[in-house]
Amino acid sequence: MSAHKAEESSPASTQRAVTMEKLVNLCKRRGIVFPASDIYGGLGSTWDYGPLGAELKRNVKEAWWRAMVTTRSDVVGLDSAILQHPRTWEASGHLQNFTDPLVDCKSCQQRFRADHVEGGRCPQCGGELTEARNFNLMFKTFMGPVEDSASIVYLRPETAQGIFLNFANVIDTQRVKLPFGIAQAGKSFRNEITPGNFIFRTREFEQMEMEFFVKPDPAEEARWFDYWVEQRLNWYVNHGVRREHLKLRPHEKDELSHYSRGTTDIEYLYPFGWGELEGIAKRGSFDLDQHAQYSGKDLTYFDEEAKARYRPWVIEPAAGVDRTMLAFLLDAYDEDVVEHEERIVLRFDPRLAPIKAAVFPLLRKAGQPEKAQEVLRMLQRHFPAAYDQAGSIGRRYRRQDEVGTPFGVTIDHQTMEDDTVTLRDRDSMEQVRFKIAALPAELTGRIGWHR
Ligand code: GAP
């Protein structure tokens, strides 16, 4: 097949082709997600992001940062430490409340979450179970060379507390006025009892959280809560998740976190069912009140207009990087038939695609590989791009479709005469000729942002 001829495909399937198994296999095969510590037999439910997964993850965080920080005047960014003063977790209530109820089987010694066991007997062997005990989910370690109770520190179970600890620093150094937000993305750790479903629930994961501070007033709180629920829902849709795969689920009173006055989850339809993707919570002034009390520091805000000091209330959209990646991967996954051959295609939004363009010399001779390398170097100054000269051009397109590369650039005999290339679109498979010099502007325009 020549690079000039448009490929033909059957219409994209209307039913979801994806299963967790297919996705996990694709991720491993193409270097998106690897089982972690694989050469030592793995370490339960931990995953490493491979070369393409690392790019995807950067893009997900970048897309979030752009929407939440860069393109707004009312939100600033932060990057706080993972290890915080242990009093943080006393004040935040995590030492006391961040627990799951656990039961042990008296026969087989297996441990289960009490609220996941039905019928009061061991789900494994039917044995008798112990009374439920509360198990704290925070990872403990020691700071410094002495391993005693005075040196215990915790790996943060949410990024949010670093924001509250820096509330006074931010209002003292930045010209922020209510309402305003502080956002950060980074690792969090939870000693989950039942991790699983690939990267959905792990013990080490990344969060993208924003604390939005508003006047302590129920009407103001309600207005901004609704605003952020809508913003966050739209963010997923604007980056390629189908609306019908998302739904809002307000929490029942008895499932609210200890700090929450009301929470709505954005849920996604995973192959294993509906599950949380992001939670938007009304945290009131709980955290600032607690830290003010435990630290003895003034964590109030001075309202110039009202000439009053108070601790603001908080609306918190809290998303997971890994779950967001999972949702984007699942929603992008598609299978169709091109020229009588099945293909897997990840229909990523170009902003999220790990590789933006792949460059192919049609022939491995006649100066085409050298020209293709030149074009590659030119594109790499703008975004991640790949080079492939192995196998038929159809195969090469297919390899890139499978990892979601939105654009293919083919160098052929005509390129050598007039410095034009064909640009192939992953989804429409349309091919159009462009001058090489026009490619960076054309592609960055189609991608939607520079990195
Ligand atoms: N600061 C509020 C907070 O941490 P959360 O609902 O516990 O709220 C927010 O967590 C998001 O973090 C979740 O919606 C989910 O996307 C992600 N997340 C939480 N626990 C996770 C885990 N064990 N593995 C992967 N992602 C997790």
End-to-end CA, the chain: 34
Strand (E) or helix (H) holding 199: none
Q: Which amino acid is at 226?
A: D
Q: In whole angstroms, give the CA distance from residue 301 to residue 309.
A: 5
Q: Can you give the pLDDT at residue 9?
A: 59
Nearest to 361 by CA among 382, 400, 390, 401: 390
- Cα 443 to middle of ligand 1, angstroms: 35
Quote the tokens at residue 160.
């949010």
**Residue 263 in contact with ligand 1 by CB distance below 6 A:** no
Q: Name the residue with the closest Cα to ligand 1, atom 17.
A: 320
Per DSSP, the three-state class of 392 is: coil
Cis bond before residue 271 (omega within 30° of 0): no
33-83+157-328 homologous superfamily? Bira Bifunctional Protein; Domain 2 (3.30.930.10)
CATH code reported for the domain at 355-451: 3.40.50.800
Alpha carbon 73 to chain centroid, angstroms = 23
- Whole-number Cα distances in Å, 224 to 150, 184, 244: 41, 19, 24
**Residue 287 in contact with ligand 1 by CB distance below 6 A:** no
The domain segmentation of the chain, as residue ranges, is: 33-83+157-328, 355-451
Q: Which residues pair with 180 in a beta bridge?
A: 213
Helix spans in 174-305 (H): 218-238, 286-295
Q: Can you give the pLDDT at residue 8?
A: 63
Q: Strand pairing of 301-303 and 273-284? A: unpaired
Q: What angle do CA 444, 445, 449 make, to 5 degrees?
A: 60
Q: Name the residue with the closest Cα to ligand 1, atom 16.
A: 320
Q: Can you give the pLDDT at residue 115?
A: 84
Mutate-to-test residue for ligand 1 from 139, 232, 276, 326, highest number of ligand atoms within 8 A of CB: 276
Q: In whole angstroms, give the CA distance from residue 352 to residue 62.
A: 9
For the entire predicted model, the pTM comes to 0.94
Nearest to 346 by CA among 298, 405, 411, 392: 405
Helix spans in 215-257 (H): 218-238
**Residue 319 in contact with ligand 1 by CB distance below 6 A:** yes
Q: Are 188 and 205 in contact (CB under 8 A)?
A: yes
Q: Name the residue with the closest Cα to ligand 1, atom 18.
A: 320
pLDDT tens column, 4-27: 445 665 554 457 899 999 999 999
Q: Can you give the pLDDT at residue 161?
A: 98
Quote the tokens at residue 410.
């083919």
Nearest to 318 by CA among 205, 194, 198, 159: 159
Q: Can you give the pLDDT at residue 177?
A: 97
- Cα 283 to middle of ligand 1, angstroms: 15
Q: Are 64 and 57 in contact (CB under 8 A)?
A: no
Q: In whole angstroms, give the CA distance from residue 328 to residue 332.
A: 6
Backbone angles phi, psi at 317, to 5 degrees: -85, 120
Q: Can you give the pLDDT at residue 223?
A: 98
Q: Can you give the pLDDT at residue 3?
A: 39
- Cα 98 to middle of ligand 1, angstroms: 13
pLDDT tens column, 202-230: 999 999 999 999 999 999 999 999 999 99
Q: Are 355 and 400 in contact (CB under 8 A)?
A: yes
- Cα 176 to middle of ligand 1, angstroms: 28
**Residue 317 in contact with ligand 1 by CB distance below 6 A:** no
Q: Can you give the pLDDT at residue 119?
A: 85
Query: Which residue positions in the chain have pLDDT lower than 50?
Result: 1-5, 12-13
- Cα 204 to middle of ligand 1, angstroms: 11
Q: Can you give the pLDDT at residue 15?
A: 72
Q: In whole angstroms, give the CA distance from residue 122 to residue 248.
A: 34
